[in-house]
Amino acid sequence: MYFAVLLVLRTLISETAGIDEADQLVVGQKLSWGYGPHAPLYTWLMFFFLRVFGSSEFSLTLLRECLLFGVYALTYLNARTLTRSHAAGILAAVALQFHPSIVWESQRELTHSIVASLMILCTLYSFLNLRPDRWLAWVGLGLFGGLSILSKYNAALFYLAVLIAALSLPTSCSLILSRRMAVSLALTIVVILPNLVWALNHRDLVLSLVYKFGIHESMPWPKAVAKGFTNWLIALLAHLAPLVLVLCAIFWKPIFLERRVSFHSDHERILGRAFFILFVLVVLTVLIGKVTQFKDRWLQPIFICSPIFLIALLRDCLDRVRLKFALTLGLIISVGMSVSASGRLFFTEKRGRRDVLNAPFRKFAADLKPSVENAGFILAGDYWLAGNLRLWFPEKRVFSPDLASPDPGAGTRWLIVWDATKRAEAPAPLRAFTSAFTPDKTDYIPHYLEETWRYHHSKKMKLGFYVLQKERAASEEAALLAWRSPNP
């Protein structure tokens, strides 16, 4: 019910794709083994959802809510399997509501992190059910382990940490060193191999966002390490502190006075050691790689199992009163989220803010439709604009200079569109890109559209556009090759 309400409200209130969704709409216009620096599984799922359910914000939100429903369901199943307690499973699922990255960021913007979280939970569920006589669990471990890596590359850290942690215990070491585990790992390799081969052949694209890690070779090592650890601690606290504080408030007596928190099984010890190994891996990236930047959303997949682990440790303290209190708090947060997740868009003007989800693309699409129908493809000023135009015109290929350039066979008549709200002329990257395809110096007269932002009274958004006609296909292909070739 919760996810259905969020789906309906988002679809009714907003008609616009967010930043991350727009990025995927541009890069995911065709199936490929890879899509630049991001793992491809979410893009594949989006590709099929848009074709099955139609190109709309409803389809994008449906995908999001289905994935999130799976995250909550798998959290319950994992916790119940680990603790043999239905109540503990319920509490672990409810505890996700105390997790800002899940309850807020996942509804607002995240894409790859959500599907990675789901695949990691599937991987953990398979691991918890490993038995010498259960081939299905071994197949599931290999399959979902590979899919988790295809969801988000840092998910490999959790997969690796769990296997190393299991090797450290005598009772589980025999499972990891068995022939069945070899089959599981082989299946993982088979799953990720096509994307791995693609990545090796497109290393420049895969590494294009390495700068986000804040690696500064010229920065003195002590300063880089200090900055890295500080930012890691900030990201970790932002990610886990609310969940830990709420659980401490609910279980304060058994935690601080009775000290009844303890391990109950080797599986719990494996999870605890896996988290410790993750900390060690992060420390090594800071010490050796001089990584200085960490973001909260990067941590979601590798710490999605934290509510399961914490509830398992606290299972002996769980009673009817504490469960009822946690359920009530979770219900309050759920109601608040149902109202604020999309309802906040009604009040952006009063808050003096501009949310991209308020952009009036339905009206723009109606105004642009005659020009779009006469164009072979659309070239937009940035990928957010390109992604939203792709959402409204799914039959047309849409490109932007910051993400993708047109294929030689995309057409010879282009529609050029840019955000002209602040500057009437096309942005410099778009002009440079367009001039690479137009060796002649023909001047084109731009046209403008202006619409009021949704739920605003006065604030307006303005688009500029014009149609560019190419007459010589050979010139187009030569210009494209010149654009894509590296600068001397």
- Report DSSP letters for 166-199, one per residue: HHTSHHHHHHHTSHHHHHHHHHHHHHHHHHHHHH
Q: How confident is the model at residue 484, as a pLDDT?
A: 46
Of 11-15, 23-27, 246-250, 342-346, the range with the lowest mean pLDDT is 342-346
Question: Could you give the strand order of the β-sheet that contains 397-399, starting from the edge strand earlier in sequence?
Answer: 397-399, 377-380, 413-419, 460-469, 447-452
Q: How confident is the model at residue 351, as a pLDDT?
A: 79
What residues are paired with 415 via a beta bridge? Answer: 378, 467
Distance, first Cα to last Cα, the chain: 58
| Secondary structure (3-state) at 218 | coil
Type of residue numbered 469: Q
**CB contact at 8 A, 161 and 280:** no
**CB contact at 8 A, 115 and 45:** yes
- Examine the pLDDT at 440 and tell me if it is beyond 70: no
Q: How many H helices and E strands in the chain?
A: 23, 5
Of the candidates 67, 28, 20, the one whose C-alpha atom is nearest the C-alpha of residue 44 is 28
Q: What is the rounded average pLDDT of the residues 350-358? A: 83
Banded pLDDT at 41 (limits 50, 70, 90):
very high
CA distance 270 to 305: 12
Banded pLDDT at 193 (limits 50, 70, 90):
very high
CA distance 339 to 332: 11
Q: What is the rounded average pLDDT of the residues 177-196? A: 96
Domain boundaries along the sequence of the chain: 31-318, 356-484
Q: What is the rounded average pLDDT of the residues 434-454? A: 75
- Examine the pLDDT at 476 and tell me if it is beyond 60: no
Of 275-289, 359-373, 399-413, the range with the lowest mean pLDDT is 399-413
- Show the beta-strand stretches assigned E in 364-486: 377-380, 397-399, 413-419, 447-452, 460-469
- Examine the pLDDT at 340 and tell me if it is beyond 60: yes
Q: How confident is the model at residue 483, as a pLDDT?
A: 43
**CB contact at 8 A, 167 and 124:** no
- Examine the pLDDT at 450 and tell me if it is beyond 90: yes
The b/e string for 117-149 (b: 16+ C-beta within 10 A; e otherwise) is: bbbbbbbbbbbbbbeeeeeebbebbbbbbbbbb
Supply the mean pLDDT for the chain: 88
Locus of tokens 């616009």: 16
Q: How confident is the model at residue 258, as a pLDDT?
A: 77
Type of residue numbered 373: E
Banded pLDDT at 348 (limits 50, 70, 90):
confident
Q: What is the rounded average pLDDT of the residues 74-86? A: 96
* Tokens standing for residue 282: 């992060």
Banded pLDDT at 475 (limits 50, 70, 90):
very low
Q: What share of the chain is helix, strand, coil (3-state, %, to 5)?
A: 65, 5, 25
Of the candidates 40, 44, 97, the one whose C-alpha atom is nearest the C-alpha of residue 68 is 97
* Tokens standing for residue 261: 């928190």
CA distance 400 to 278: 37
Q: Where are the alpha helices (DSSP H) in 84-154?
A: 86-95, 100, 106-108, 112-128, 135-151
Of the candidates 439, 427, 428, 424, the one whose C-alpha atom is nearest the C-alpha of residue 482 is 439
**CB contact at 8 A, 358 and 453:** yes
Radius of gyration of the chain (CA): 25
**CB contact at 8 A, 148 and 159:** yes
Which H/E stretch holds residue 308? helix 306-313
Of the candidates 372, 377, 345, 375, the one whose C-alpha atom is nearest the C-alpha of residue 358 is 345
Q: What is the DSSP letter of 356?
A: G
Q: How confident is the model at residue 412, as a pLDDT?
A: 66
CA distance 16 to 197: 35
Of the candidates 275, 43, 272, the one whose C-alpha atom is nearest the C-alpha of residue 157 is 275
**CB contact at 8 A, 142 and 152:** no
Banded pLDDT at 461 (limits 50, 70, 90):
very high
